[in-house]
Amino acid sequence: MSFTFNVLKNSSQTSARLGKININGIEIDTPVFMPVGTKATVKALTPLMIEETESKIILANTYHLVLKPGLEVLKKFGGVKKFMNWKGAMLTDSGGFQVFSLAKLRKINDDGVEFSSHIDGSKYFFTPRSVMEAEHIIGADFIMCLDECSKHDASYDYVKEAMFRTHKWAKECKEYHDSTPNSEYQYLGGIIQGGMFDDLRKESAETLVNMDFPFYSIGGLSVGETPEQMHEVLSKVMLYTNKQKPRYLMGVSEPRDILNAVMEGIDMFDCVMPTRNARNGEAFTMNGIVRIRNSKYRMDDTVLEEDCDCYTCKNFSKAYLNHLDKTHEILFPILMTIHNVRFMQRFMKDLRNSIENDVFSDYRKDMMNKFY
């Protein structure tokens, strides 16, 4: 098993780049979007449908999987990919983000974080080592270090303290992971923190780059800051990352944010938004969002997006989708999710083509004008 990353082309006017990941035999063109399959399923899609969107890699959440179905089940099945029958690549987060956003009664110290399940209140203690052990059992191709994600309006002192803890945990995760046979087929990413503070972001990036992870993620963004703040943090922190490695921006799928982040050199993205908003009736198209619940679509015989090649757009009208929503039919989230995930992959492909042809800046402006 193996992991390689090659930058195939650099944009001449921006830091955008085209790349190719080869992870355990699976090829992934970057920049790449990873749909989220939180609890061992990308909501409303069969694995076959995920494949048909041309998604090569999906994300699952360690926090949720530890709670349900639990590590005992996943161990028996040889990991979550076999459990859910997903044949593509997978990345798991460390659960850190969910512990700090979902779980209750958190107690944090330098050893780890104690929390109560948001489902039944039962207690868990996540440490760098226990998270590595969990991610080893879950068995994704890419795994992440335990980190502490500060709120976007946290104080400098708190963000600094959390950053130091994140670095300590990163070191412990890496040392433990590298000592196990799993390091031969699971690849551990370091998470850069530091909030909205330039000096902390620089320090975090440099510290983690020195630890020599196979890839890096930028954590602590998409947590409530404005798109401009996000872009500004990225434009600075990316200078201190390692250009030979894939760089992953967690929790982002808004086209504006993806375009800005790719401009700064980000290679990987994930977010629940395309799937969640699909279920809430928002279809993404190259010309912006279609809110299919609007009664103006009741008699509309056009498809969501004329140029889209997804199963939904090849077969069903807006009127039919509007009807399925009004009648609360299960087919509604299915067809909407197929479209939105396929939209993301079409968008990423267009974006990659624009880098290939060195017209990324034009593409970015054009897409911003069309979408917003």
User: Which residue numbers are catalytic?
Assistant: 93, 270
Cα dist. 162→29, 147, 197 in Å?
A: 33, 8, 13
**Residues near 322 by beta carbon (within 8 Å), at least 6 away in sequence:** 292, 293, 294, 295, 297, 298, 300
Q: Give the number of other CB atoms < 10 A from CB of residue 368.
A: 13
313 appears as a binding residue in the annotation: yes
The one among 106, 123, 291, 326 contacting its own copies by CB under 8 A? 326
Give the count of residues interacting with its own copies (CB under 8 A). Answer: 38
CA dihedral 250, 255, 85, 97 (to 10 degrees): 20
The region of 27-35, 120-128, 209-217, 308-316 touching its own copies under the rule CB under 8 A is 308-316
Q: Looking at beta carbons only, is 114 or 282 nearer to its own copies?
A: 282
CA end-to-end span of the chain:
42
The region of 177-185, 221-229, 284-292, 313-321 touching its own copies under the rule CB under 8 A is 313-321
Cβ pair 104, 98 in contact under 8 A: no
328 appears as a binding residue in the annotation: no
**Position 316 contacts its own copies (CB under 8 A):** yes
**Position 118 contacts its own copies (CB under 8 A):** no
321-347 core/surface letters (b: 16 or more CB in 10 A; e: else): bbbbbeeeeebbbbbbbbbbbbbbbbb
The one among 109, 122, 226, 327 contacting its own copies by CB under 8 A? 327
**Position 206 contacts its own copies (CB under 8 A):** no
**Position 157 contacts its own copies (CB under 8 A):** no
97 appears as a binding residue in the annotation: yes
Q: How far is the CB of 118 from its own copies (least distance, A)?
A: 13
193 appears as a binding residue in the annotation: yes
Q: Which two tokens stand for residue 198?
A: 């330039």
**116 forms bridges with which residues in the sheet?**
104, 123
**Residues near 163 by beta carbon (within 8 Å), at least 6 away in sequence:** 150, 193, 194, 195, 200, 203, 204
CA dihedral 299, 301, 306, 311 (to 10 degrees): 100
Q: How far is the CB of 299 from its own copies (least distance, A)?
A: 6
Q: How far is the CB of 84 from its own copies (least distance, A)?
A: 6
Q: Categorise residue 165: left if φ over 0, alpha if ψ from -120 to 50, beta otherwise.
A: alpha
Q: How far is the CB of 279 from its own copies (least distance, A)?
A: 8
**Position 299 contacts its own copies (CB under 8 A):** yes
**Position 239 contacts its own copies (CB under 8 A):** no
95 appears as a binding residue in the annotation: yes
Q: Looking at beta carbons only, is 117 or 361 nearer to its own copies?
A: 117
Q: Which residue has the tokens 């079409």?
A: 346
**Position 317 contacts its own copies (CB under 8 A):** yes
Q: Looking at beta carbons only, is 159 or 335 nearer to its own copies?
A: 335
Cβ pair 64, 41 in contact under 8 A: no
Give the footprint of its own copies on residues 30-89 (CB under 8 A). Answer: 39-41, 43-48, 68-69, 72-73, 76-77, 83-85
189 appears as a binding residue in the annotation: no
Q: Which two tokens stand for residue 257?
A: 């944010």
Q: How far is the CB of 49 from its own copies (least distance, A)?
A: 9
Closest C-alpha among 166, 171, 232 to residue 197:
232
Give the footprint of its own copies on residues 331-350 (CB under 8 A). Answer: 331, 333-335
Measured between alpha carbons, how far is 267 from 20 in angstroms, rounded to an integer?
10
Q: How far is the CB of 140 from its own copies (least distance, A)?
A: 17
State the alpha helices, DSSP H only, in the chain: 47-52, 62-67, 71-76, 80-84, 96-101, 128-138, 156-178, 198-211, 227-237, 255-263, 273-279, 311-315, 318-326, 331-356, 360-371
The one among 199, 329, 350, 362 contacting its own copies by CB under 8 A? 329
- Could you tell me which residues are annotated as the binding site for Zn(2+)? 308, 310, 313, 339
Please report, as ranges, the residues that interact with its own copies according to CB under 8 A. 39-41, 43-48, 68-69, 72-73, 76-77, 83-85, 298-299, 301, 311, 315-317, 319-320, 322-324, 326-327, 329-331, 333-335
- Give the residue numbers of the binding site: 93-97, 147, 193, 220, 308, 310, 313, 339
